[in-house]
Amino acid sequence: MSATHRPTETPTPTKTPTTPTTPTTPTTTRTSPISPDDFAKAVAAERAAGVIPVRHTGRVVLGALAALATVLATASVARNPSFQWGTVGDYLFSSRIIDGLILTIWLTALSVALSFLIGTVLAVMRLSANPVLQAISWAYTWFFRSVPLLVQLLFWFNIGYLYPRLSFGIPFGPAWFSFETSELISSAAVAVIGLTIHESAYAAEIIRGGILSVDTGQLEAAEALGMHPRRVLGRIVLPQAMRVILPPAGSLLISTLKSTSMVSVIAVTDLLYAAQLIYNQNFLVIPLLMVATLWYLIMTSLLSIAQHFVEKRYARGFARTSGRGPARVPKPDSL
């Protein structure tokens, strides 16, 4: 950095300063005008030994304090016998925990996949020219984003009070099949339905934001080529919207993973409920909560890594992070 500002020739003092007897106090006059003589000396000093960087004393002290606090907290956690790390190790891979983990994983995967499917439909409805579809999409998003997930789960779990029997047939006419609602919809199904409906309202907004981020020129170019709207959406708009959709979508996936822990209230044996069932028998509350915590940490970390690579994939052709190595420097070549 110092080399770029180096003057081409060192100014030589042509005459002595007018008031050589005046004592200079460099420590207090750092920003005051500098004499040609001192300027030359400064240039030489900078060339010889560079510039002393500013010392961020506050930053160093604060950093040291924060590091110390972290070390103390970690040590306290690691050495507190109540955590019973040995017990945590015993239960980490126990079959009941692993079963709960597997349920949590597929519950997350299924509800997120369905959420984004429904969310895409909702987003397209909201952006369509049809006012009825627009209104329905808006109302769905408004309602299901407003009702807490826990309330929805309890509501869907108790839907049998509202509709004791479900039947398939001609509306207001004869029924072909008829089921007890509580038989047809298991707790696990309730969990999927509740999570999907809740998360799809968020997914719709994420996807709509992504679609709106695509430049209208792209739509015009596609339209001018005579492309079908479905093809424009799938080939031109959504791939470009992905760049904007993916970061919040990754957050939604991770938040859904954690939200699945709420299904324990409707007796679905996910990771958390599996841990609760065990500690209700042996009272090892803290170690089993730590087991669940560790698994949530591991899954979230894996998802974050996966998200990084997926984002890279969709950055193709865009400047900031090119999917295939650094972008070549544009070289204008004439005909």
Site string for another protein, 31-70 (x = CB under 8 A): ----------------------------------------
Smallest separation, CB 131 to another protein (Å): 14
Smallest separation, CB 96 to another protein (Å): 46
Candidate segments 85-93, 212-220, 279-287, 301-309, binder of another protein by CB under 8 A: 212-220
Query: Which two three-digit tokens encode residue 312?
Result: 């890279």
Q: Is the dihedral of CA 17, 18, 20, 23 positive or negative?
A: negative
95-127 and 238-259 helices, crossing angle to 10° = 140
Smallest separation, CB 172 to another protein (Å): 35
Query: Which of the residues 216 through 255 are near another protein (CB under 8 A)?
Result: 217-218, 220-229, 231, 235-236, 239-240
Smallest separation, CB 130 to another protein (Å): 13
First to last CA, the chain: 40
- Tell me if 124 contacts another protein by CB under 8 A: no
Smallest separation, CB 202 to another protein (Å): 25
Query: Which of the residues 266 through 325 are near another protein (CB under 8 A)?
Result: 314, 316-319, 322
- Tell me if 334 contacts another protein by CB under 8 A: yes
From candidates 20, 53, 171, 330, binder to another protein by CB under 8 A: 330
Q: Is the dihedral of CA 11, 16, 17, 20 positive or negative?
A: positive
- Tell me if 109 contacts another protein by CB under 8 A: no
Q: Is 253 exposed, middle or buried (0-12, 13-18, 19+ CB in 10 A)?
A: buried
- Tell me if 331 contacts another protein by CB under 8 A: yes
Smallest separation, CB 207 to another protein (Å): 17
Kindly tell me which of 24 and 218 has the beta carbon lying closer to another protein.
218
Tell me the number of residues near another protein by CB under 8 A. Answer: 32
Kindly tell me which of 47 and 313 has the beta carbon lying closer to another protein.
313
Smallest separation, CB 309 to another protein (Å): 17
From candidates 1, 48, 162, 335, binder to another protein by CB under 8 A: 335
HEC states along the chain? Answer: CHHHHCCCCCCCCCCCCCCCCCCCCCCCCCCCCCCHHHHHHHHHHHHHHCCCCCCCHHHHHHHHHHHHHHHHHHHHHHHCHHHCHHHHHHHHCCHHHHHHHHHHHHHHHHHHHHHHHHHHHHHHHHHCCCHHHHHHHHHHHHHHHHCCHHHHHHHHHCHHHHCCEEEEECCCCCEEEEEEHHHHCCHHHHHHHHHHHHHHHHHHHHHHHHHHCCCHHHHHHHHHCCCCHHHHHHHHHHHHHHHHHHHHHHHHHHHHHHHHHHHHHHCCCCHHHHHHHHHHHHCCHHHHHHHHHHHHHHHHHHHHHHHHHHHHHHCCCCCCCCCCCCCCCCCCCCC
Query: Which of the residues 161 through 200 are near another protein (CB under 8 A)?
Result: none
Smallest separation, CB 289 to another protein (Å): 45
- Tell me if 212 contacts another protein by CB under 8 A: no
Kindly tell me which of 23 and 217 has the beta carbon lying closer to another protein.
217
Kindly tell me which of 54 and 129 has the beta carbon lying closer to another protein.
129
Interface contacts to another protein, rule CB under 8 A: 215, 217-218, 220-229, 231, 235-236, 239-240, 314, 316-319, 322, 327-328, 330-335
